[in-house]
Amino acid sequence: MMIPEPEAVGDQRPASERTTVHRYAELQSWRREDLYAVLDEGLVAHVGFTARHGPVVIPMAYARDGEHLYMHGSTGSGLGLAGGAGVDLAVTVTLLDGLVYASSLYDSSFNYRCAMVFGTAAPVSEQERYEAVRLISQRLMPGRWAEVREPTGRELAATKVLKLALAQTSVKISAGPPDTEVVAGLWTGELPVVTRVLAPVPQPGVDAPVPPSVTSAAAILGEVINAGKR
């Protein structure tokens, strides 16, 4: 029997036993905007599923479109083979913001923003696959779709795109300094961690100028990274 998905109330994400944080529950956020912020800033999703030989976690490119995630892989991969009619997934996107140095190693930790999505992902149709591939491309390399040839029918056929509804989600956010007492003579605080975008590196032998898609991606990623920091 199918278990009905929990429903959201206003701007709050739905709660269920599976999505409720029990360890440091005060760090959990049910706000829709926090979920979207983590998913939209992240670049790689770690996707867990049960393969033929046991549990597996793989990194995947993805994009969010409204209340769905589209995840890009190969039809020949373990997940591609497992997702013929739908596959149960646990998807995690984590943004590391800093190392927290407390007065003891036990109380030291990370500052981070983490989103998890649970549910059954289904492969998209052939018609939807084209748009999903374009969506993921435009998110990671905005403008590149117009600079290069479009995917061929064979390339699209070899591409597996899974669609997962944002129906069961969990967001956990840790921020700020240590919450332990200050000890005289001992440094405590946070070592911030950021993701940087560096200067483009051309392929050997390329004499063409850096295209707008590359400069746009650098600018957009820089803006997103800076906007996500406290």
Task: Say yes or no to pLDDT of 56 above 70.
Answer: yes
For the chain, the average pLDDT equals 86
Q: How do residues 142-166 score in pLDDT, each as one tens digit?
A: 999 999 999 999 999 888 899 999 9
Q: Classify burial at 66, counting beta carbons within 10 Å of its beta carbon; exposed 0-12, middle 13-18, buried 19 or more.
A: exposed
Number of alpha helices (DSSP H) and beta strands (DSSP E) in the chain: 5, 9
Q: How do residues 164-198 score in pLDDT, each as one tens digit?
A: 999 999 999 999 999 999 999 999 999 999 888 88
For the chain, what percentages of helix, strand and coil (3-state, to nearest 5) are there? 25, 35, 40
Distance CA 145, CA 72 (A): 16
Task: Say yes or no to pLDDT of 228 above 80.
Answer: no
Superfamily name with CATH number, domain 25-191: Electron Transport, Fmn-binding Protein; Chain A (2.30.110.10)
